[in-house]
Structure 1
Amino acid sequence: MPTHPATPVTVTVRYFAGARAAAGVETEIREATSLDELVGQLVDAHGERLERVLAACSFLVDGAQTRDPSSALAPGAVVDVLPPFAGG
């Protein structure tokens, strides 16, 4: 059975700490099928500085940590971009 590409869905991206500084925005709306596709769009839009930060970031999709970059995004999902936090 042939596979068909998933239809992009609208998601909200929220940046925190250094990711916010690198992106230059706090929140944005994007259309993507997967977290991997979304990250590619963010790098294309915001450049090398954000790409370096994203390499160390973790992602929450609707509040749940996501480790599989190929996992599909649900319509209306909220993706939080969380760089590593220092602290004691």
Structure 2
Amino acid sequence: MGAVTVRLYAAAAEAAGTHQLSVELSSSPMALQQLLTELNETASVGRAPVADAGRVPSLERVCAQSSFLINGTRAPVSRGQVTIGDVVDVLPPFAGG
């Protein structure tokens, strides 16, 4: 169908092992909550084990505490919608909060 670009920052990038992922959408538009579910699946596929994996939180856990931007506009998880070609930024809490 098509994809969205997900840019990951700070703890989200560390948890995913990359700063950017492309996530194929199974439908468009798609709820942001569904995209996050698919993002976690995409990030876990083929990821090499991390030496300090016990200290690196899961991407799912980081996303649960993060804020999101869709094409530069803040989007609440409960109401956000993404479509093909969108850019989603995952912004974990910085500096403790």
Q: SS of the counterpart of 1:36?
A: helix
Shift of 1:31: 2.1
Give the match for residue 3 of structure 2. Answer: 10
**1:46 is aligned to 2:43:** yes
Alignment partners' CA distance in 1, 2:41 and 2:19: 17
Q: State TM-score, norm by structure 1.
A: 0.78
Equivalent residue number for residue 57 of structure 1:
66
Q: TM-score, normalised by structure 2?
A: 0.71
| Corresponding residue SS for 1:29 | strand
2:8/2:20 contact within 8 Å kept: yes
Question: 2:65 and 2:15 mapped to 1: Cα distance?
Answer: 13
Identity of paired residues, percent?
Answer: 41
Instruction: List gaps (5 residues or longer) in structure 1.
Output: 1-7
Name the SS for the 1:31 alignment partner: strand
**AA of the residue aligned to 2:22:** I
Counterpart code for 1:16: Y
Residue of structure 1 equivalent to 2:80:
71
Shift of 1:28: 1.1
Shift of 1:9: 4.3
* More off after superposition, 54-63 vs 44-53: 44-53
> Is the 8 Å Cα contact of residues 31 and 38 (structure 1) preserved in structure 2?
no
What RMSD, in angstroms, separates the aligned Cα atoms of the two structures? 2.0
| Residue 29, structure 1, aligned to residue 38, structure 2 | no
- How far off is 1:70 after superposition? 4.3
Give the unaligned 5+ runs of structure 2. 45-56
Rounded to whole Å, the distance in 1 between the matches of 2:2 and 2:34 is 11
How many residue pairs align between the two structures? Answer: 80
